[in-house]
Structure 1
Amino acid sequence: MKSQGYDLIGDVHGCALSLRMLLARMGYRQINGVYRHADRKVIFIGDIIDRGPHIREALHIVRDMVDAGQAEIVMGNHEYNYLCYMTPDPDRPGEFLREHTPRHQRILQQTLEQLSPWPDEQREYMDWFLQLPLFLEFDHFRVVHACWHQGLIDRFRQQYGGNQITHDFLCRSAIEDSFEWEIMDRLLRGTHLRLPNNEVMVSKDGFRRRFFRTKFWTPDPQYLVDVVFQPDPLPPHLARLPITERQRKDLIYYGPQEKPLFIGHYWREGVPRPVTDNIACIDFSAVKYGKLVAYRLDDETRIDPDKFVWVDVAREVHLPQSEIGAS
């Protein structure tokens, strides 16, 4: 008997029209308001919200599919950020788990504006986000938003059971360097290193960053350029610096013997292709006129370059630039 086929979809970020086109391209049809396929199921990699023009519509599509058993989903860092931004801090009256700074508001602005006319829905989505699993593991593949850290996942399963958090866990995750903070940081944001010498890098989207995102599949990296994994390159004078022993302790390694892993989060560009034989990143910057990408998984144990499918937003959707939210 053939096993269940899965279509893994990358970061949607409010691109509901692109999502409808991608689902239709893969043979999903709306029946009684829900996208369905005769013998396949979608897995969303998280980050349904923020930045894009049709966040509420995207949420309805995704949640309706999940509720009908036509899809599964893992939490993204943007759902987590929204939860923290909207949740009062029990230890600091009048404050929230995520500070209401201009930078944090800028990232969430489109979601806040688009959901504010529907306060009941806002509360429902808050409850739903809290229930989203942090990771999914199947017989022959794994799914997480940014990084599979086996040690942290094992400890989470031992301490909390399953793959979901609670309100108390959410509150503890706002305490920097706690176990709860560490697992949310690693699984939803990935591994990263601080820029040497207290340097600051201004990214393409205008943010000042003191850290850069790193690969977790390089077996023996020697220089910083060997591990950087983000659209913005490191400044040349930093790229060739050797990795120190202290920095090496912050890197992890997902080896080729591990199950195929599907992640989003990293704003890739160009033609979708595997990161390694057993890792696929399917976030290709849909909301920045990139591509909304899916990978059509069957029984294979290695990532097949021919099984990516996508909607090219710049060529096929043509959203007005004014509709794209701040990054």
Structure 2
Amino acid sequence: MNCQGYDLIGDVHGCALSLRTLLARMGYRQVNGVYRHPQRKVIFIGDIIDRGPHIREALQLVREMVEAGQAHIVMGNHEYNYLCYMTPHPDRPGEYLRTHTPRHQRILQQTLEQLAPYEGEQEDYLNWFQQLPLFIEFERFRVVHACWHQDLIDRFRRQYGGNRIDREFLYRSAVEDSFEWEVMDRLLRGTHLKLPNNEVMVSKDGFRRRFFRTKFWMAAPQYLVDVVFQPDPLPAHLARLPISAEQRKDLICYGEQEKLLFIGHYWRQGAPGPVTPNIACIDYSAVKYGKLVAYRLDDETRVLPEKFVWVDVAREVHLANAEVGAS
């Protein structure tokens, strides 16, 4: 296939019906069971699993496209979490790389339940997840789930010779503050700062958080409000605090002279559009009845607002339910 463009699709989170609608809207059709386009390919930004109602169907659709050469994919933090949750710890019998706490189980619950009847598939998907690239770099653009951290990526390439992890890397990534842990934390979860004074935020999804996600493209931020990048705002008494010298060490800047960059992860809201002239976040909270978003990349050198396309998930679910009720 002569690929003339790429369609980058944000976090699916088990919204397989919306994914089918989005692919159809962009001109993809099923041929021999695989969605294909005569001139284009898809790049999935990760987080295919968790939370949504049709996780297994979404996984099958995405994997079939990837294995047929119709799509690329990068690992999301949810695929990594599932991989660690299901991988026994090599040095602690009865334990796993990701501890089986109520919080961790809550995040993975839908995936665990929906794949439980298919034990053979579970193992197969675990093997597949480990083989997913952490990042992809093309001549004109880059793709990573949460944050392009050039220093970490350069060191990873030197030590591991590519963009995929192996079993030993996976084991080491469970050791907090190791190089492998930092790679997975930054590339798949992004940069973040600890809330001052040991404060705790309760996010809209009910999780207690001591850290907040930060922008990684600000050249000279002055206050905490300048770098916060998440749906939940900082408490007012913290937002205007100046960024300390210690906090500034944990911030990086992806400059406007860098290649186009496509990320997911951040649960954006509202009308899809550029984050900066060269950064597009295409996660718009599909599983929370937001939008499943794609960016249709051709030969442009800046992110263009008109190149975003999406499915309004709440509307699609309403129409699907109406059709069921009428049948």
The TM-score normalised by the length of structure 2 is 0.97
CA distances 1:2-48 after superposition (whole Å, capped 9, x unpaired): 96300000000000000000000000000000000001000000000
Give 1:47's aligned residue. 47
Q: Does residue 200 of structure 2 align to residue 230 of structure 1?
A: no
Note closer, same or farther for the CA distance 1:205–1:118 as it changes in structure 2 (3 Å cut).
same
Q: Aligned to 1:6, what secondary structure does the other structure show? A: strand
Consecutive unaligned residues of structure 2, counting only runs of 5 or more, are 322-327
Q: Aligned to 1:294, what secondary structure does the other structure show? A: strand
Q: Does residue 206 of structure 2 align to residue 206 of structure 1?
A: yes
Runs of 4+ in 1 over 6 A off after TM superposition: none
Consecutive unaligned residues of structure 1, counting only runs of 5 or more, are 322-327
Deviation at 1:316, TM superposition (A): 2.3
Deviation at 1:279, TM superposition (A): 0.1
Give the letter for the 1:188 counterpart.
L
Give 2:16's aligned residue. 16
Give the letter for the 2:115 counterpart.
L
Give 1:325's aligned residue. none
Q: Aligned to 1:121, what secondary structure does the other structure show? A: helix
Q: Does residue 313 of structure 2 align to residue 313 of structure 1?
A: yes
1:1-327 aligned at under 5 Å gives the runs: 4-318=4-318
Give the letter for the 2:274 counterpart.
P
Give the letter for the 2:212 counterpart.
F
CA distances 1:144-183 after superposition (whole Å, capped 9, x unpaired): 0000000000000000011000011000000000000000
Q: Aligned to 2:246, what secondary structure does the other structure show? A: helix
Deviation at 1:318, TM superposition (A): 2.6
Aligned residues of 1:3 and 1:299 also touching (Cα < 8 A): no
Alpha-carbon distance in structure 1 between the residues aligned to 2:67 and 2:320: 32
Alpha-carbon distance in structure 2 between the residues aligned to 1:161 and 1:106: 35
Q: Aligned to 1:43, what secondary structure does the other structure show? A: strand
Give the letter for the 2:188 counterpart.
L
Deviation at 1:319, TM superposition (A): 8.5
Aligned residues of 1:3 and 1:298 also touching (Cα < 8 A): no
Note closer, same or farther for the CA distance 1:3–1:17 as it changes in structure 2 (3 Å cut).
closer
Give 1:324's aligned residue. none
Alpha-carbon distance in structure 2 between the residues aligned to 1:230 and 1:10: 16
Give the letter for the 1:304 counterpart.
L
Give the letter for the 1:228 counterpart.
V
Aligned residues of 1:73 and 1:133 also touching (Cα < 8 A): yes
**Count of residue pairs the alignment pairs up:** 320
Deviation at 1:320, TM superposition (A): 9.4
Percent same amino acid at aligned positions?
Answer: 82
Give the letter for the 1:73 counterpart.
I
The TM-score normalised by the length of structure 1 is 0.97
Give 2:324's aligned residue. none
Deviation at 1:314, TM superposition (A): 1.0
Higher relative contact order (CA 8 A, sep 6+): 1
